[in-house]
Amino acid sequence: MHAWLHTLNQYYPVRYTAWLLCAVGLLLSAFAWVGFGTSGMLVLLFALLLALGVHDVLQTRHSVLRNYPVIGHLRFLLEFIRPEMRQYFIESDNEAAPFSRQQRSLVYQRSKGEPDKRPFGTQMDVGATGYEWINHSLVPTTLATHDFRVTIGVGRAQPYSASVFNISAMSFGALSANAILALNAGAKRGHFAHDTGEGSISVHHQQHGGDLIWEVGSGYFGCRDAQGRFDPERFRANATLPQVKMIELKLSQGAKPGHGGVLPGPKVTLEIAAARGVAPWVDCISPAKHSAFDTPIEMMQFIDRLRDLSGGKPTGFKLCIGHPWEWFGLAKAMLETGITPDFIVIDGAEGGTGAAPLEFTDHVGAPLQEGLLLVHNTLVGLNLRDKIKLGCAGKVISAFDIARMMALGADWCNSARGFMFALGCIQAQNCHTGLCPTGVSTQDPQRQRALVVPTKAERVFQYHQSTLKALKELVQAAGLDHPAGITASHIVRRCSDHQVKLLANLLSFVQPGELLHGEMPHNVFKLYWPMASAHSFQASP
pLDDT, residue 525, reads 95
- 3 backbone dihedrals φ, ψ, rounded to 5°: -60, -45
Handedness of CA 374, 375, 377, 378 (dihedral sign): positive
pLDDT, residue 430, reads 80
How buried is residue 447: exposed, middle or buried, by Cβ count under 10 Å (0-12/13-18/19+)? Answer: buried
Neighbours of 432 (CB within 10 A): 13
pLDDT, residue 263, reads 78
pLDDT, residue 2, reads 72
Reduce the DSSP state of residue 38 to 3 states and report it: coil
pLDDT, residue 495, reads 95
Q: How far apart are CA 525 and CA 41, in angstroms?
A: 78
pLDDT, residue 87, reads 44
pLDDT, residue 88, reads 45
Buried b (16+ CB within 10 A) or exposed e, 155-191: ebebbbebbbbbbbbbbbbbbbbbbbbbbbbbbbbbe
Nearest to 142 by CA among 478, 468, 463, 404: 478
Q: At what angle do helices 453-477 and 101-112 cross, to 10 degrees?
A: 110
Predicted TM-score (pTM) of the model is: 0.88
Q: How far apart are CA 206 and CA 194, in angstroms?
A: 11
Cβ distance 293 to 302 under 8 Å? yes
pLDDT, residue 78, reads 79
Long-range contacts of residues 521-526, Cβ cutoff 8 Å, at least 24 apart: 521/377, 521/381, 522/377, 524/324, 524/374, 525/381
pLDDT, residue 9, reads 81
pLDDT, residue 81, reads 67
The segments of the chain whose pLDDT lies below 70 read: 1, 81-96, 354-355
Q: Encode pLDDT of 23-56 as tens digits.
A: 999 999 999 998 888 888 999 999 999 999 999 9
Neighbours of 230 (CB within 10 A): 19
Q: How far apart are CA 368 and CA 372, in angstroms?
A: 6
Which run of H or E residues covers position 47?
Answer: helix 41-58
